[in-house]
Each structure stands twice: as C-alpha cells, then as structure tokens.
Structure 1
Amino acid sequence: MTFNPNSDIGGGKVRRRGRTAGIAAGGVGIGAIAVVLISQLLGVDITPFLGGDVAQTQQIGTGEQLQNCETGADANASIDCRMQGAAASLEAYWSDEVPAQGGRYASPEFILFTDSTSTGCGGATSATGPFYCPADQTVYVDTGFFDELRSRFGASGGPLAELYVVAHEWGHHIQNLTGIMEAHSSRETGPTSDSVRTELQADCFAGAWAGAAATTKDENGVPFLQPITETQLQDALSAAAAVGDDRIQESATGRVDPEGWTHGSSEQRQRWFTAGYKGGTPSCDTFSVSGSEL
C-alpha cells in the first residue's frame, strides 16, 4: 500500500539501535538449530540461559530517532521510513479507537535492530522474527525479516505485507493495554488455545487498522495512506498465510500437528485478518467463539 506523498509521518516514534562488538564462540550444530526453533516459539532468544555456543551480537541502549523520515514520500522510498509511517498511522488509529471502546491508550515503543538486541523480555535475535515485549511495552523489528518473509516463508511481499506484520505486533500492545493478554495468559498450545486466540485477535486488529488506514489522517487532515488495492490486500493475506502454524510445521518437519499450534493455521490467520478488515475491531472477539468457529 502506498503512503500519500505529502502526509506527515514525523510523529511516528521509531528508533534504530546500533550494533555493538560481536561475541562469537564455537560452531552451530544440532543444538543451536534446536535453540533457534525454540526461540521462534517463545519470541525471545534463550541461548544466554543455556550456555550455548551460538554467535551473538547484542545491541544495547535506547537507540536513535530515525532521521529524514518526515513525509509519506520518504515512507515510500525507505524501509525504515516506512516503519515510521506505519507507527504514525497506527498511533493515530489506536489513539482514537481504544478510547472509543472505553479504554485508555498509551503509545508503545518501537525499536528497529539488526541481528540481535536486548529487551525487557531477554535477549532477542532475528531468528525470532518481529515481536512485542509486554515487559517494556515495545515492538521489536529486524527489517531483514521482510526479505525472509519472501525468500524463506514464500510470501509475495509488498509494503502492505510489511505493514501487516507491524500492525499485528501493535495489536499485541493493545491486548496488553486493555488486559486481554493478562486475562488469557495460558501457555497451553493447540488449535483452540488461548495462545492461538490471542494471535488471531492480533491479526484481526491488524485487519481493522488496514480497513481504516486510507481514512486515518495526520494532524493536517491528510490521510496517511492511499486506498488499498486488491493486489496489496492479497500481499497482506499472503504474509498471513506464510506464517501459519500448519505451513511452518509442514515445511520444517513434513507433517502438521495442530496440538502444537501457537498462532493458528494459514486459513485462520487470513480469515481473522479479513474479519477485521471488513468489520473493524468489534469483529475481533476471538475468545467468545467456539472452537469450530475459530
């Protein structure tokens, strides 16, 4: 999806962390591969707790505010500026939407990093993919993931696919603010588990933002984004399908085990994104529906 060139994205609060000196030891064997897979499931890098031998490059500090990311034209030209544009649009959308639903909105932090970084939830690496840390209320994204979304996971790519990923993580922040995350904190897995319902709701929240994105305006009354085309919508749906549990399991092991699901199937992720896109946040109650309706 395309930003209006003259929209003001300067209000997006995004920082990028620089990289410190790396610390490398040993080789990467079966144990390291297992750690990467576990880290992807948990959302944080657990190697520091295992005394592992995986090379690490930690990024620390608060990071620096992005420079030269002021307009929608900048967002269309640069991935970092596109992240700032996404933040500005999501901020404007949710700062109205949460109070309208009776809640109180507060902004998350948004950190871009490369390879690995420290977080309030522990050390995180690019292997985990983008994630939200409730402990420090921060969205973390290594923008290199968007290349992997195409090359490794088989998504079609495109700007709306990238923005869908950010909007999904922002959805977790909304769940944290509104108490949804705390109320449904079971660590059980499976096709009808709290984990899957939480992730599908975040997909729905992302869809709700996308459905309103072309009418969400900056402080000057200019819509941040131009209307979504059918091709762009299909890019977002392709990204949602690419990270479905069933597709990832089949690719990794050659079989599908629904009892191990934490995020939902490709079909479910597409369907709940579409529900939000067409119906807004009122359509996103994934916790009240029966398992067959999920």
Structure 2
Amino acid sequence: MTFNDDADISKGRASRRAGAGLALGGGGLGIVGIIVLIVSLTTGVDLGPALGGLDGGSQAGGDQGIDSALDQCQTGADANRDLDCRMKGAAASLEDYWSGQVQGYRGTAVQLFSGSVNTGCGGASSAVGPFYCPADEIVYIDTAFFDELRDRFGSSGGPLAQLYVVAHEWGHHIQNITGQMQGLDTSRTGPDSDGVRLELQADCYAGAWVGAQESTLDDNGVPFLEPITAAELADALSAAAAVGDDHIQESVQGQVNPETWTHGASAQRQTWFQAGRTGGPGSCDTFSIPGSRL
C-alpha cells in the first residue's frame, strides 16, 4: 500500500529520538513487548531487565537524545520515499480513522528510536520489538525491526507489512483508552488466554484501518492511501504470519508449544486481520467467543 503523493501527512504525531540508545547485542524475539508491559503495569513487578536490562532510565542509553519532529515529512510522496516519513504518514492516517470510530477518542504518538529508549513503562531495548506503553500512551518502534521481520522471521516485507505493525500497536492504544485492557488475567498463557485475545483484537483493529483506506481522508479531502493491491495485502498477511507464536517457536526452538503462546498462531493473526478488514471494528470482539473459535 502506498500513500497518495498529494496527501497531507504533516499532522502525523511521530518523532525520532536521535542519539539516545544503547545498542544491545543479541536481541530477542522483539514482538512480545505489550504483554511484558501489561504484566508490569498490573502487578507492579519491575520488568526493566526483561525490557532490555535498563532500570527505567538511570543507566546508559537513557533519554539523552533529541527528538526530531520529522518536519521534513509533509506529503504522501515523502512517505513513499522515506521510512520515517512513512511512520509519520501512518500516524496521520490512523489518527484520522480512529478519531471517527471511538467516542471521546484521545490520540497517541509514534516514537522512533534506535537501540534502547526510556518510556513510561520503564527502559526498553530493541529486543522487545515494536510496542505500546499504556502508561504514557505512546507507540515505540525501532524501525530496524522491519529488517528483522523480513530477514529473520520470513515476512515478504513491503510498505503494508510495515504499516500493519504500526496499526497493530495503535490497536493496543484503542484497547487502552476504551478500557479493554482492564481486568485481564495476564498471568496465564495459552491459545485462548487473555493475552492472545488482546493481540488478535489488535490485529483485527489493524485490519479495520486497512479496510477503510479509501474513506480515510486528510484535511483537504485526499485519501491518505491508494487502494490496496493483492500483492500489498499478501505482504500484510505475510507479516501477520511471521509474528505468529507457532511460526516463531518453530523457527527458534524447532517445536511448537501452544500452552506458552502469548500472541496467537500465524493463521489466527491472519484471520483476525482479515475479519477487521472486511467487517470493521465491530467484528473485533475476541473476548466473548469460545477459545475453539479463536
């Protein structure tokens, strides 16, 4: 999916933290951040070490950098040429879409970083992957993750694969501001756990945004995005499959253990993305259906 060259993305709330981050060696799976963060917030347990070995900002790699507001990113043409601008364009479009879907909507923002970053949820390294912090209501992305998604986990890549990741994390913001994160049992894992249901719903919300691309307009009435092509849809579905628990477990440890799942299987993630794309946010209730139907 590409942006319309004339689309106005200037209002997208995205910035890059430059010069802050301690690049940590190794790197984990990079896609379990939201569950770790929710456990930290709901239990009070300090999970700084799990988020990259930082203690909430007192160690090296804290917020010593300067935020760039990405003022060079003004149009859809910029978003098509530059990855940071694409993230800003995604923020502009997602903000427009969800402000019309949620009563009393309040926005979020995208913070791009490299290596590590301090957040309202504590210090996080790139090993966590893209994540949403409910405490400060910000989406955090190290864009190097997109290379890992393709090279390590086998996604076909492409712009819509990248936008799917942003839209998924934005979906967690929707869950937060609508109260859907409250009262969850985050201590349990497994294919029908609250954590899996939360992640699948965020996939569904991402699909809902993609499905509404023709009616999501900038202030001048120009659609932010061009109509989706079959190849671009395949890219998004490839990304959803690449971050499925079963695919990651098979890739990393050579076997699948559903009882430890926190995000859902590849097929589930694809199914719920498609459910949102064709049915909108109203089709995204993953909490009231039996586990066998997830």
TM-score (norm 2): 0.89
Q: Higher mean Cα deviation, 61-70 or 283-292?
A: 61-70
Other-structure match for 2:224:
224
1:229-272 deviations in whole A, cap 9, x for unaligned? 01000000000000000011111111100000000000000000
**CA distance, structure 2, for counterparts of residue 11 and residue 38 of structure 1:** 29
**CA distance, structure 1, for counterparts of residue 64 and residue 203 of structure 2:** 30
Other-structure match for 2:67:
63
1:129-174 deviations in whole A, cap 9, x for unaligned? 1000001100000111111111011000000000000000000000
Equivalent AA in structure 2 for residue 68 of structure 1: Q
Equivalent AA in structure 2 for residue 217 of structure 1: L
Do structure 1's residue 77 and structure 2's residue 103 form an aligned pair? Answer: no
- Cα RMSD of the aligned pairs, angstroms, is 2.1
Q: Say if 1:186 and 1:255 are closer, same or farther in 2 by CA, change over 3 A.
A: same
Other-structure match for 1:93:
97
Q: Per-residue deviation at 1:68?
A: 1.1
1:72-125 deviations in whole A, cap 9, x for unaligned? 0000000000001000000000000112xxxx1001121000111111111111
Do structure 1's residue 154 and structure 2's residue 158 form an aligned pair? Answer: no
Other-structure match for 1:131:
131
Determine if contact 1:5/1:73 at 8 Å carries over to the other structure: yes
2:51 to 45, 55, 59: 45
Determine if contact 1:40/1:127 at 8 Å carries over to the other structure: no
Equivalent AA in structure 1 for residue 83 of structure 2: I
Q: Per-residue deviation at 1:19?
A: 1.7
- Structure ranking higher in helix proportion: 1
Q: Say if 1:276 and 1:21 are closer, same or farther in 2 by CA, change over 3 A.
A: closer
Q: Per-residue deviation at 1:186?
A: 2.8
Number of aligned positions between the proteins: 277
Q: Say if 1:197 and 1:60 are closer, same or farther in 2 by CA, change over 3 A.
A: farther
Other-structure match for 1:52:
none
Q: Per-residue deviation at 1:57?
A: 3.4
Other-structure match for 1:190:
190
**CA distance, structure 2, for counterparts of residue 145 and residue 4 of structure 1:** 25
Stretches of structure 2 that go unaligned for 5 or more consecutive residues are 38-49
**CA distance, structure 1, for counterparts of residue 207 and residue 60 of structure 2:** 35
Q: Per-residue deviation at 1:48?
A: 3.2
Q: Per-residue deviation at 1:56?
A: 6.0
Determine if contact 1:9/1:85 at 8 Å carries over to the other structure: yes
Determine if contact 1:18/1:59 at 8 Å carries over to the other structure: no
Sequence identity (%): 59
